[in-house]
A and B are shown apart, each in its own frame.
Chain A
Amino acid sequence: MTGELGQLALCFALALSLVMAAAGFFGARADAHAARSIANGAAMGLLVFVVLAFATLTYAFVVSDFSIALVANHSHTLKPMIYKISGVWGNHEGSMLLWVLVLAIYAGLVAGLQRGGERLTSGALGIQGLLAAAFILFILFTSNPFVRLDPMPFEGAGLTPLLQDIGLAVHPPMLYAGYVGLSASFAYAAAALMVGEEGWARAARPFMLIAWISLTCGIALGSWWAYYELGWGGFWFWDPVENASLMPWLIATALLHSALATEKSGAFRTWTLLLAIAGFSMSLIGTFLVRSGVLSSVHAFASDPTRGFFIMILIALAIGGALALFAWRAPTLQGGAAFDPVSRETSLVLNNVFLVAACACVFVGTLYPLVLDALTGTKITVGPPYYALTFAPIFFALLLLVPFGPKLGWKRGDLKTAWRSLYPALGLAGIAAVSVLAFVSPRGVAATGAFAVAGWLIGASILDLRKRKGARASAFAAALAHAGLGVTLLGVTGTAAWRSEALQVLAPGQTMTVGPYTLRFDGVTQEKGPNYLADRAHIALMDGGKVKAMLEPETRLYAAEGQAVSDTAIRTTGLRDLYLALGDDRGQGRYAIRAYVSPLAPLIWLGALVMALGGMLSLGGRLRLRAREPASEPVAAE
């Protein structure tokens, strides 16, 4: 029964999304009050029915209803409850339903908050209705999660063990909140092109911020998961799936900065609109890359060509439609603002140039091999060395310029004053560089430079945080976000330049050293988890003759899925990780042990957290501002 209920709810949701699209577009006209009410109501109805469909599927996973094919193929009665629930989106069909759920939540927020005037909101709802309809159609026709299985099996096939992890349980919803969050800015931008663009950047800003915060957290979570789960001590592999999330983040970052200028001084009107379109386009392309299976191999794509084809058409329509609207309407927008070559505006232009170039780099690096293969049949690999030579210098140049932005005034800034006020940050950069040269080996040029830039960023942020006591939340927010960049840079540099590793085969009682640590292998025991059997190594961290701590990396064998997964053990001081992974059984109680010491690794994710906090502070400031002066919200131009 539940399956049919979910299916029915999804059909209602489809109908409502179509109503919402039609009423929304009609309501964007000046005197169509009734249509606007209908669009608002439809948005709420859409949310209710999509929640119902999603809840139905979740219920089926929770009670292990194996009469539904998706549950039978991706769940198991013995799984812990949290992984039964996360199993809902641990597969293609369910994750597409999650996508639509997030889309419906954003539509509900747009309808509920009514930011930026009735006509603008109505137009945005129209766009969101179209998007929802397209994706619900995609689910119903190519990826239906409610398909029945007859006869019903006694037991499910289980969930890929790699996904049975708390990091990956939270990662997809977080990332989707970011991906799909950009749909709200996209909808506002398209609506602004339809009804006249006044005030849209301000109306859409909370959604941009929510999307950016979610993307930042989602990417950080994904990289953290790769770090502790994959067992190689790496945190970023320039894997196409990772790149698919990095591209929207880069554009969203550019959008946040450009929209600020549009809002504050009316500069870059058309450019900000284009960025809002580009941001969501990157989300769509990312979804296509990950969901069509084109990445893992050409064969996976061919095994179900309808899905890839459908998404490709959908993306082409969404992006093409938005760009056509842009090309048609953007020339009618009034001309740009006036500002000096030395000003906040110019710094934001440069920010955008570098961020877009960085995004182009990831875009080309990800798609070039696919296109080359499709056109000529030649296979090439675009690995980390490519990004080290292209992305790294571009991003490095951007980071060098970051501290100047907040120091320059709108319209007209003073470079000399800005430069002088940054002297302490320059001092900190020098100290950071000298510390590397004095204390650390090996002392590479890149590591020294990176530490200097990190010091420069963090120093400048501290100056901003100190000087602007009593200033607006937005200044603090920017300073925090920029400081987070510096903190992450410290972590990345520490791990990349100074990681030590050791791999040894040990018999019980033998010791090994890695970096400053001495480790004693005390043998392996068999342990029984809820749905796996584990070989658990007992490794003592020695301090002189005494045991300081026990670390217990495992290899887990999931019987239902027939797969083995390593579970690392990490001991962190906050500034340095000791990281252990259990390798092969070499017979007679001997095991291969992999050990890494990653200096500063925790800072990678701490930095991301600081960035996200900056975003939240900005969001909080926005919402408080709105609560204080609700009447000051600009009304869309009639």
Chain B
Amino acid sequence: MIIKKIATTIAISLISSSVWAGCAFENNIELKSLSNSFDAMKAVTESMAECGNVTSVLDVDFKDKQPEAFAANPSLYQIGGVSNGTMVPLLNAGTIRPLDDLVAKYGSQLKPSQLIKVNGEIMAIAMMVNNQHLMYREDVLKEFRLEVPTTHAEMVAAAATIAKYNVVDYPIGGTYKAGWNLGEEFVNNYLGNGGEFFGEGNAPSINNATGVATLNTMKSLTEYMDPEYLVSDSTYVQQQFQQGKIAMATLWATRAGAMDNAEESQVVGKVIMASAPMGTARPASTNWWDGIVFAKNMTDEQADAAFRVAMEGIDTEMVLANNDDAVWLIDGYVAGSAAAGAIATADNGAAPYPSSSPGMGAMHTALGNGIAAFLTGEKDAATALADIEAAYTIAATEAGLM
């Protein structure tokens, strides 16, 4: 097995250094890309590498590096992988390049929906959409004659039944790692309950009945989770799922494909994707898109090469080879069973992540830092929310937003 892997790796590296197999042109300008790390992004960057002279950095902490790296002149990276959230600081700082000329020259394959436009100018190329959906073990639910849960209350009830029998370690999994992940869970559930984050003039408005209800829902779920949920991120929950330790989880759509990856998963064919559980208003999930941006601080030759390489990275050939890694926006994509949950979530009316609110960054951070105190029982819901509002107010005032 290992020898086979090594052989494949050597083969691949030989291919990428000598023959430009999957690429229409030979790139001879040194290019670097910085992006988040997940299967779909790996597929895209590997496909870009086929053109030669492309170095890709995939880093889960990419969002801490990107603004500074792109602000440098010349920029440290020519190509950046972003989402609707992480594009905002680059856009605000004016460090990414308008793409209208390049799209006209090299972007004939792009669908209109892939063009991210700000005031009419194309600023990014989207490649996929993403949200959080319910993943469940069909065999486990069937065994106990349970319906697929459509709300969190039903999910907790199902978990209570599953917990009585020793089939999985923990009925529910959750990406509740304190910090960004936990903040995101609150955002999903709060929006699902129809909450509004801001009042007049970026003032916080989460300390209300909806906020308290959201926190209580989250706590009711944690009772059936691994007690170490406050250190569990998406990859950890994905692995627990693959090892058959959990039965249900609301997880990113990009994690669906990994369940049927026979090399790492012990539950191939047993995990089904469904719509994220409904809040009182819409699904407890947010819609995201992922795409590619290009640095402003680079030469025109570099920009040309970078754009052409990126177009090779997100071409139909790549999608055909990695169909189930994401819900692609690219021509040639066929929505399979892995995408069923994400599409159902979107059909049920999931809201987009509110990245256009200027205070959302500070709010997300304050939520990610402050909710744990409620879940551990250190504070009651109202106190936790009041403290989060206070932390947000300090940060937003310091940033000049209030």
Does B associate with A?
A: no
